Each structure stands twice: as C-alpha cells, then as structure tokens.
A and B are shown apart, each in its own frame.
Chain A
C-alpha cells in the first residue's frame, strides 16, 4: 500500500516486504500442507488477529463448508455474486467466509485466511480467492498472503472444486 494507509482496518503495516503484486513470485516451497507465513503471523500478532492467550487465530464467524451452501444448480442462489477467501483443509474440505467476517466497521478485527480454520497453527492444502458469479464458480486462484501456497498445489483446488456448479465461462484455477 503506497500512500493510502488510512484504508487499513486495525492495521498499519501496509505492504511490507512483499508488497509487490502478484503474490506468485513469493510462494512457499511445495508442501503437502502450509502453515501461516511467519512474517504475516507477526503482523497478525501486532494487530490482534492472532492472540496466543486466546487460542491463536480466532475463527471467522462466517466460515462455512462450501458443500453446505449448494442449493440445486447454485451456490446459495443466482444473486450470490462475490469474491470470497477459501481454504482447503488437510482433509480436503473447502471452507469459505467473508473477508470481514467479524463485521464491516473499522473497529472489527479483520478475518484473513487463517481465521477460516482458527487455532494456533492452522494448516491448509491450498488457499486463495474464489470468484462466484450468478451462484456458480467462475474461477479460483492461489492468492493468500498468509499461506502463500505453491502453484503446484493448485491440483488440490482442481480436485476440491470439480463437483461444484460452474459458470458457463468457468476459468478454473488461475
């Protein structure tokens, strides 16, 4: 973030060491599962997202299993249009939740990817952003500043999303 630090909720760290986009150049080595990138955890401690005296990462209250949201040919309904953070757990479940799951106002603690699982050391097989258009999956990616999954792990996303309703222009993993 360059020159717009006022838009950060509970957060003043800005872009930090890895502020250049996209994240792909800064991914972790390929692993079966990923823990939170250490520099991001330090930021989370500083800004109250991670608190070791309260169980580590508090769980995002809006976190839910994507499977439970499927209604017929739609995820939720045809008016469901948004980008949401997702993680794939070590047992293959897809969890999504709002990026501002604790509330929208600035005083609320942000809910980055690790809060979709919560705890001291949340681990994921994959994490990124899911783009849902008209209640159908349009695309998913590997953008998670916290887990920085290796692009080789995209195969887990391909596998996890394969049976969900797809948009007519479904782009797959990108």
Chain B
C-alpha cells in the first residue's frame, strides 16, 4: 500500500531553478529525495502530485523548462501512467512550444528534444505505442496530444 503524496514536497523538488548554480551535493540530495518519495508513494501518486505542481505553480516558460529538466532527472519519463496525455499537453503548452511552428530557436530545439524524449518514453511505458515504433512516432500527428494541449487554452 502506497503512502499519499504530500504536495509540500513539490517545493523541495522543483522550486530551485535548474539553470542556477548549485553543488553536486544539492543535486544528489534532490535525486535521493525523489527516489525515496517514489518508493514510498508509488509512481502514479507521485506523478499526480507533480502534475498538480505543473498546473498551479508553473507560470512562465523558464519555470516550465526548469520543471521539465527536474522531472526528467527524477525519472518521471519512465513512469507507467494510466493516461499521460493531460500532463504532456499541459507541459507542451507551458513550455511555449507550438504545433504550428517548424522554425525553432536554439532554446526551443533544446526544450523540444527533452520534451520529445519524455513524450515517447511515457507512451512506450504506458503501452500506448510499441517499442519498435520509437523512431516513427511523431507528436505533431498525435491528435490526443493536440486535444490535451487545446484543453488548456
């Protein structure tokens, strides 16, 4: 039986700007904390708690990018989640990425690449796509992602 996720933990995990200077010890402590929380609360509970943080506390592109990098470092992309689409649509939106753009700035490219890794990994883990289709899936064609993105307009 997993413990309930305490939303106060979100501040410890995500408030520090990923791009700021911090020591390896600080980084290690955060990763250690995330591991123990995942073990105690289970992936789905933790994921739901992190989604709440994304919904309520991430209000600009820079913060969304920082959140995404922490999320990736904590292994969120490897979670097996019932329905990852609401999270993916909201994150794509908060990162300031768009389905209508092909021209990216360097920042957008970097953001997109991490997002794309999260996207394809979560779809595989959740068994929405097969592993062997890793190279062929394209998020621009994913109507469910677009739907989730548009829900947040």
Does residue A9 face the partner (Cβ distance < 8 Å to B)?
yes
CB proximity of A22 to chain B, nearest CB, Å: 6
Within 8 A of A (CB), among B97-153: 102, 104, 110, 112-114, 116-117, 120-121, 124, 127-144
Residue in B77, B114, B136 whose Cβ sees the most chain A Cβ within 10 Å: B136
Does residue B53 face the partner (Cβ distance < 8 Å to A)?
no
Residue in B102, B104, B128, B132 whose Cβ sees the most chain A Cβ within 10 Å: B132
Q: Are B113 and A82 in contact (CB under 8 A)?
A: yes
Q: Are A8 and B140 in contact (CB under 8 A)?
A: no
A interface majority secondary structure:
loop
Interface string of B68-96 (1 = CB under 8 A from A): 01001100010000000000000000000
Question: Among A21, A79, A111, A169, which residue has its beta carbon within 8 angstroms of that of B130?
Answer: A21
Does residue B60 face the partner (Cβ distance < 8 Å to A)?
no
Q: How large, as a class, is the contact surface on chain B? A: 35 or more
Question: Which chain A positions have C-beta within 8 A of B121?
Answer: 83
Question: Among A83, A84, A145, which residue has its beta carbon within 8 angstroms of that of B133?
Answer: A145
- Among residues of B, the one whose C-beta sits closest to the C-beta of A143 is B131
CB proximity of B147 to chain A, nearest CB, Å: 12
CB proximity of A156 to chain B, nearest CB, Å: 20
Does residue B31 face the partner (Cβ distance < 8 Å to A)?
yes
Interface string of A97-111 (1 = CB under 8 A from B): 011100111100011
| Known A21-B132, A82-B117, A83-B117; 13 more pairs at CB < 8 Å | A4-B128, A4-B129, A9-B136, A15-B130, A79-B69, A79-B110, A82-B113, A99-B134, A104-B140, A105-B102, A105-B140, A145-B133, A168-B27
What are 6 A-B contacts with C-beta separation under 8 Å?
A10-B136, A79-B110, A82-B113, A84-B117, A85-B135, A106-B138
A residues bordering B, Cβ < 8 Å? 1, 4, 6-11, 13-16, 18-23, 40, 47, 79, 81-85, 98-100, 103-106, 110-113, 129, 133-134, 143, 145-146, 168-169
